[in-house]
Amino acid sequence: MPIDHDATRLAIARLAARLFLANGVAATSGKDIAAAAGVSERTVWRHFRTKESCVEPLLSQSALRFTQHMLGWSRLISIEDHLSEVFALDRQSESDIQDGILIVRLVAILPKEPDLQATWLMASHLGERGLVDIIAARLDRSPDDFDIRLCAATVSAAMRVVDEDISLAAIERGEVFTLADVVSRMARAIRAASTLPFCDPLPLRKPNQSAPDPTQIRP
């Protein structure tokens, strides 16, 4: 049976995240991560450049999942209604929920673990690339347009700030957020950062106007 490299990377990422949370980044070695994952240290370095990058698959998976959620956004509903729908708890798998909790805990330690910042920013940039295609498709414009790329960049930055703010509040200050609270904060941030009007319902496309092919969304 062929080895699923993506699954291996994600499994290592989850274990590395737990070690970072338990022991700190500086006190966690590649050898520790390999031992926790039940693989050789050589295997860890075959998949990752640095120990900090070991959590990249976990963070990137979250960014890509958000992109996939947004691909199904109906032109007939607002950003608030769409986020409420796709993030409803009954639509999340147990692994999605557990990964989300792990990411929140990781993001909360970023101020104390600056070596993780680069990995977090790389994952955020991945989400930004997905937003370029989503905003372009919603507004029937080219993803190469400067205004589209600018809008995606500002929205991505706003979402990153929301993620960091909620994570710190929840973990460091013990604040409790309902799903409605999270959706509301995300939607407000997206609206505030949007430089183009894509958050509200839009007219349906004309019969001879086809939607962009979602399979062509860039990774």
Identical fold for domains 5-53 and 55-202+211-216, yes or no, is no
**CATH superfamily ID and name for 55-202+211-216:** Tetracycline Repressor, domain 2 (1.10.357.10)
* Interval 17-27: pLDDT, tens: 999 999 999 99
The Cα–Cα gap between 181 and 177 comes to 6
Nearest to 87 by CA among 179, 156, 198: 179
5-53: CATH topology is Arc Repressor Mutant, subunit A (1.10.10)
Q: What is the pLDDT of residue 215?
A: 44
Does residue 217 carry a pLDDT above 60? Answer: no
Residue 219 confidence class, pLDDT cut points 50, 70, 90: very low
pLDDT single digits (tens) 115-149: 899 999 999 998 899 999 999 999 999 999 999 99
Q: Is the pLDDT of residue 199 over 80?
A: yes
Average pLDDT on 168-193 reads 94
User: Helical H runs in the chain?
Assistant: 5-23, 30-37, 41-47, 56-71, 79-86, 94-108, 117-138, 146-172, 179-193
- Residue boundaries of the structural domains of the chain: 5-53, 55-202+211-216
Contact 199, 191 (CB under 8 A): yes
pLDDT confidence tier of residue 158, bands split at 50, 70 and 90: very high
